[in-house]
């Protein structure tokens, strides 16, 4: 029954549930932690790498901290493909900002 109602984020099930939102909330629970600390003399970014499969080679685990611009960095938790899309958008936004404001 859930299959008819879990293809879109705006389709409610007869029980009033949004399955896509519930799936996202469950995925968040499995994501690693990321943290940013602002100090008087700098900033610290940290991200937890969670190995979900013991057979996964450490070489292929992706980074969780990305450089956006000369002055910007971001720490991400969750799915790497989502992080890649978001960081690409942030880089484009930072470039537009630099072009407009110098």
Query: Model confidence over 51-98: pLDDT tens digits?
Result: 767 776 666 666 889 999 998 999 988 777 888 999 999 999 999 999
In contact, 26 and 17? CB cutoff 8 Å? no
How far is it, in rounded angstroms, from Cα 35 to Cα 44?
8
Higher pLDDT, 91 or 33: 91
1 has a pLDDT exceeding 60: no
Domain assignments of the chain as residue spans, ordered by start: 48-101
How far is it, in rounded angstroms, from Cα 89 to Cα 91?
5
Task: Specify whether the backbone of 16 is left (phi greater than 0), alpha (psi in -120 to 50) or beta.
Answer: left
């Amino acid at each position: 029954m859930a299959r008819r109602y879990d293809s879109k984020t705006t389709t409610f099930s007869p029980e009033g549930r949004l399955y896509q939102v519930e799936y996202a909330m469950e995925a968040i629970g499995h994501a690693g932690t990321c943290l940013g600390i602002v100090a008087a003399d700098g900033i610290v970014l940290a991200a937890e790498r969670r190995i979900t499969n013991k057979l996964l080679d450490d070489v292929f685990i992706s980074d969780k901290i990305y450089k956006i611009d000369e002055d910007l960095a971001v720490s991400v938790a969750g799915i790497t493909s989502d992080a890649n899309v978001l960081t690409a958008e942030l880089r484009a936004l930072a470039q537009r900002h630099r072009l407009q404001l110098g």
